[in-house]
Structure 1
């Protein structure tokens, strides 16, 4: 409903909002954050949170671009290594949370700083340019009627569909929900909760690696300054999509709608000429409203 109301409002206030080109632009603008939000959804469903995903994505993008440009590795191999590095960060998060019993907030906050520092150390504060066409292929477009659509947007939508199936139709997905709903009860029923959590954070890391590739494809460079606020944007998309911050409840398709809500509001306000600071203000209000609704609904079910 929020998405429909926003679309109707901006279509009445501007002449270009409902144009095919603008709607395609909205999808392009949310594809990186939306992909990050898939991994964030997995983590939040287990009653955790990942503050490091934007920094991990930025480091992955620098690794794969520098390996190609400076290391002269084949693009496909560099992409695989970059995604592997992001997966390693996710694995590290999972192991620290499960083996040492550290809070996810503290672990991922520390990992954010580590990934951020490594990004700037490895890149030497320089943007990586001169990328081969293979690394930016997902930024290419094809036509549907008079609308240009990027291949990266299709990949993002495909990932949402895949994870919607995995969470809703597989044993692993049911275990993720069970752990988030009540970890101790899940353990007593025989679910290996530690293994599930480690897998969740590792899979999330792989998704962050894919987001790094989409970031490179969209910008055409390896930017060490990228992703600095994407962690908060991904949490915003998850919360607006109806996933409970307390774990155990939510849908990944809801996250897609949440990302689109943020993208539509920001795009519509830009078309109306509203300063960007008010876009941030409205996004913050929406997050508080979404969490408040979730908290009230939880109290009523008790």
Structure 2
């Protein structure tokens, strides 16, 4: 039986969030003359750059029916490690960046190892590593912001002109990572295995897929994404901030769910996550332009994620 949906349209899981994004843009454009400016759109991309990269790792984990609450704190620890190593120890900036990313990959490895070897729930494991990462960050940094960074660490915060808008190199990297992840999930065997494990891990195991290796690899790739996000945070803020990342876990989960990825695993798309990230960014930017208090912005975000999860739940039951 042929599908009634034209082949040139995005998947339905992405089409719904895309329509929601366009509707939000239309609403805020009617409320503020500044919203549709190219400069404002570039500002939205800069504001979601860090969470957008974290959400890539979060998407991969949620596709396997897991979840990662430690992502924000892992990112904060990575940023403190790379900045303090460069400033306090005088380490080569590139090596310091590598050390910071290595730490976040290690956190991903620990998460994945505990989930696969001891069969602990991902929620509990990552809740524990979130608190550990937070404590280590505060102790190592003494809760002090790291300043005086080498120029190399600020590269991705540098801007270039495109038409009337100014973009950072970090936003280009973020978009490039989404394209690469889309190709990985769509065109490679490991990417397809990831969906299979999330859909039915026992069936995947019986077909010869090494499910534990897939899960461990996913958590480590996610850890690498958090390390890159740490570098983006350092580049954007110009400091190593031990207080950063405290809401990024919820923001990334919100973006993933709004983008149509199922919390039950096995269903979703990385481009849907990008749309979800933009929805969160557009709502916060639009409400700011309207002069709405940040408390109400958080309220709206909470309502959006509840609606998205409820839709996912109803769709899962119907399926």
Using structure 2 for the length normalisation, give the TM-score: 0.94
Task: For residue 125 of structure 1, report the CA deviation from its aligned partner.
Answer: 1.0
Q: Does the alignment pair 1:284 with 2:302? A: yes
Structure-1 residue corresponding to 2:145: 127
Query: Which sits farther off after the overlay, 16-25 or 54-63?
Result: 16-25
Q: Residues 72-126 of structure 1: CA distance to partner in whole angstroms, max 9, x if unpaired?
A: 0111110111101100000000001101110000000000000000000110111
Equivalent of residue 152 in structure 1, options 170, 177, 194: 170
Q: Which digits, 9 at most, give the CA deviation of each residue in 1:162-207, with x for residues without a partner?
A: 0011011100001100000001111111100001000000000001
Distance 2:314 2:119 in 1: 29
For 1:51, the equivalent position in structure 2 comes to 69
SS at match of 1:15: coil
From 65, 72, 75, give the equivalent of 2:90: 72
How many angstroms apart in 1 are the aligned matches of 2:32 and 2:161?
A: 24
How many angstroms apart in 1 are the aligned matches of 2:150 and 2:35? 34
Q: 1:97 corresponds to which residue?
A: 115
Offset at residue 294 of structure 1 (A) = 1.2
Aligned length: 301
Give the 3-state SS of the residue equivalent to 2:167 in structure 1: strand
Aligned pairs for 1:53-202 within 5 A = 53-202=71-220
Distance in 2 of aligned mates of 1:294 and 1:129: 43
Runs of 5+ consecutive residues of structure 1 not aligned to the other structure:
none
CA distance in 2, matches of 1:146, 1:191: 50
- Superposed displacement of residue 239, structure 1: 0.2
Instruction: For residue 151 of structure 1, report the CA deviation from its aligned partner.
Output: 0.2
Deviation at 1:45, TM superposition (A): 0.3
Q: Separation in 2 of the partners of 1:3 and 1:42?
A: 22
Cα deviation code 1:31-52 (max 9, x no counterpart) = 1001000000000000000000
* Residue 248 of structure 2: aligned partner: 230
1:249-291 deviations in whole A, cap 9, x for unaligned?
0000100000000000000000000111111111111111111
Report deviation, 1:299: 1.8
Q: Distance in 1 between matches of 2:217 and 2:317?
A: 31
SS at match of 2:202: helix
Q: Deviations over 1:191-242 (max 9, x none)?
A: 0000100000000000100000000000000000000000000000000000
SS for the counterpart of 1:148 is strand
* Moved >2 Å (runs of 4+): none
Q: Report the Cα distance in structure 1 between the residues aligned to 2:297 and 2:260, rounded to whole angstroms.
A: 21
